[in-house]
Chain A
Amino acid sequence: MQLSREELIHAYRQMRTIRAFEDRVHEEFAAGNIPGFVHLYAGEEASAVGFCMHLTDVDRIASTHRGHGHCIAKGCDVKAMMAEIFGKKDGLCGGKGGSMHIADLEKGMMGANGIVGGGPPLICGAALTAKTLGTGGVAIAFVGDGGSNQGTTLESYNLAKVWNLPAIFVIEDNGYAESTASSWSVAGSQVGRAAGFGMPGYEVDGHDFFAVHEVAREVIDRARKGGGPSLVHVRFTRYYGHFEGDAMTYRGKDEVPRIAAERDCLKLFRQRVVEAALLEPETLDAIDREVVAYIDRVTNEAKAAPMPTEADLLTDVYVSYH
């Protein structure tokens, strides 16, 4: 299905925002400005945006430890996200969550998750809420190739199927669970696993936004109409390490530069829309400039923002303390 000009611009801007956000976090981390652990989504943008473009705030997603892209695609405030990653009081989670727990439930973003395989059971619950309350919403678990092997994920396939939930499992396979190749760690195939649970399963090139967007539309429509869960195996490449500071000695020589040159999702998107005369290069260039300036501004604001104080240490452990 042809996307409108507005939709194409939105998709490109979102993907570009994620890329610029991650590139900047990479720089700031390397400069020692960001505390803790960060895991970057650069190279994988087409998946988050390709799926989340079909969603509204009534739909829920659960993410992984590599969650910045899903947050941005689901509509979380980018400035508050950056402040959160810097541990600031006006961060999206008041500085208490950080990169691995970034969330905004009002936007339907149920959290990045520090636990591999933590999301799928939660998404079964979110899908159950949608079904029970008749909201028409769907719930998507983004799961890494590592998380795809967790029992929680496989149990969730079973539960989603036997309860006929509006749930979608997106296996984001960037080739490596930490340093271990998915070609080695995943027995059978993702699509074969879906078949084993009686779910429709799809494999899609995650560098190709249009391919992802199309499959996403089909599985989301099915879930919304009561047709139950589906699985999508998205294959792509992450440009940075498992975590920032990972020297990536396990990767093939020139693997990242080669894929970035040939299969980068932003480049492929640009090539496609320009060749088809759907968007002009100048329009895309303008978005690139705007996004970089925007990320620069929110990063500077995040750096200048105040830290939480001792008064914040013990708040929000409970809703009520009795």
Chain B
Amino acid sequence: MPKKTYRQAINEALRQEMERDPRVILMGEDVAGGMGSPGEDDAWGGPLGVTKGLMPRFGRERVLDTPITESAFIGAAVGAAATGLRPVAELMFVDFFGVCFDQIFNQAAKFRYMFGGKAKTPVVIRTMYGAGFRAASQHSQCLYPIFTHIPGLKVALPSNAYEAKGLLIQAIRDDDPVIFFEHKAMYDEEAEVPDEPYVIPFGEANLTREGDDVTVVAMGRMVNFANQVADKLAKEKIGVTVVDIRTTSPLDTETILETASETGRVVVVDESHPRCSMASDIAALVAQECFSDLKAPVKMVTAPHAPVPFSPALEDLYIPSPAKIEAAVREVLAFKG
């Protein structure tokens, strides 16, 4: 099977869905780039080149560069979705949600319910998240728990290139608004990705490792860190199950609870802040639903309750690391009730 980067997988998903369905359009800041400029067209293809080549293929009518006005164009994507298009809007960094959140959480998320089931808003908002780029406090956040909190939104976090293609195609075909989180540190990571289109259904977690001793529930880039830890500990005959939840909304509670009950020892890894996070949410779920199966308290590994720092020396301390995950796994294993 061909190997492709996370970036290529996302580009391919967009291209194939645009070929399949003329209602799929892209919009965002510099998704082509060079609009109105004297130099090259398709100058950028998105700030990190993810949408490169799509404008020359589909034209300016379907790949729309926007002014830097997130409220207007995210709102336009929502309005276009409610009236018959299937827009994929790019919110360059998720940190910019502060200037367009109304259009997402008060408009897109609520249309279906408020309008008595008569609205469909099939919009996808692709957005970059995560630390590790020395991009400091306003370009490095995770924030997916905030979107997960809102009924009416679906939230996907692909953990590798294969996942990215399948989850993005599902997002585009889905009739509900989907926030699609792409980790900026993963765009160059490769995985085997089929050439043909395929979908990965939402709300179905994936067991990337299976073991009997500890369950690690993770999402996005943290799945890879968890896998590294599982592989390392396997050499010590410690069995770690890694659950890639894939989507935080809908959440596959069944798989989480089943694996938690099987091992009785649970670590939740979440790159976001700890309060009101996916980690605290999943820890509460496990504590509430399978308390009697637990052999140790649930352990959370998260970023701290602090903005993302700039200095490499500080950012490296900030991000949940494989070492921190390993320590948490060893801690729950060592717990004697």
Contact = CB atoms under 8 A, between A and B. Distances in A.
Contacts of B87: 125
B250 A128 contact: no
A147 interface: no
B115 A122 contact: no
A78 interface: no
A195 interface: no
A320 interface: yes
Nearest to A150: B71
A111 B112 CA distance: 11
Contacts of B174: 319-320
A122 B76 contact: yes
A104 B119 CA distance: 9
A317 B79 contact: no
A162 B201 CA distance: 38
Given A122-B79, A125-B83, A152-B102, A317 B113 contact: yes
A254 interface: no
Interface stretch (A86-94, A210-218, A270-278): A86-94
Contacts of A94: 116-117
B154 to A, nearest CB: 7
Contacts of B74: 121
Contact of A111 (B62, B103, B114): B114
B115 A93 contact: yes
B78 A122 contact: yes
Contacts of A187: none
B118 A105 contact: yes
A297 B23 CA distance: 43
Interface string A27-39: 0000000000000
B72 A122 contact: no
B29 interface: no
Given A103-B115, A111-B115, A318 B154 contact: yes
Contacts of B62: 132
Interface stretch (A8-16, A153-161, A170-178, A222-230): A153-161
Given A152-B75, A158-B69, A158-B72, A316 B117 contact: yes
Contact of A101 (B76, B79, B114, B202): B114
A50 interface: no
Q: How large is the interface on A (under 10, 10 to 19, 20 to 34, 35 or more residues)?
A: 35 or more
B73 interface: yes
Contact of A316 (B77, B80, B116): B116
Contacts of A93: 114-116, 118
B175 interface: yes
Interface in A78-136: 91-97, 101, 103-106, 110-111, 113-115, 118, 120-126, 128-130, 132-133
A159 B250 contact: no
Interface residues of B, number: 50
A288 to B, nearest CB: 32
B103 A121 contact: yes
Contacts of B66: 159
A51 to B, nearest CB: 18
Given A152-B72, A158-B72, A318-B176, A133 B151 contact: no
A274 to B, nearest CB: 41
A155 B72 contact: yes
B283 interface: no
Contact of A318 (B25, B103, B112): B112
A129 B102 contact: no
Interface string A282-322: 00000000000000000000000000000000011111111
Contact of A105 (B73, B115, B154): B115
Nearest 9 Cβ contacts at the A-B interface: A121-B75, A125-B79, A94-B116, A122-B79, A316-B117, A93-B116, A155-B72, A125-B80, A319-B175
21 contacts: A97-B114, A101-B115, A103-B114, A105-B82, A111-B111, A111-B114, A114-B106, A121-B73, A122-B76, A125-B79, A126-B82, A129-B85, A132-B25, A151-B71, A152-B71, A155-B69, A155-B71, A158-B67, A159-B66, A322-B201, A322-B202
Interface of A: 60, 62, 91-97, 101, 103-106, 110-111, 113-115, 118, 120-126, 128-130, 132-133, 139, 151-152, 155-156, 158-159, 162-163, 315-322
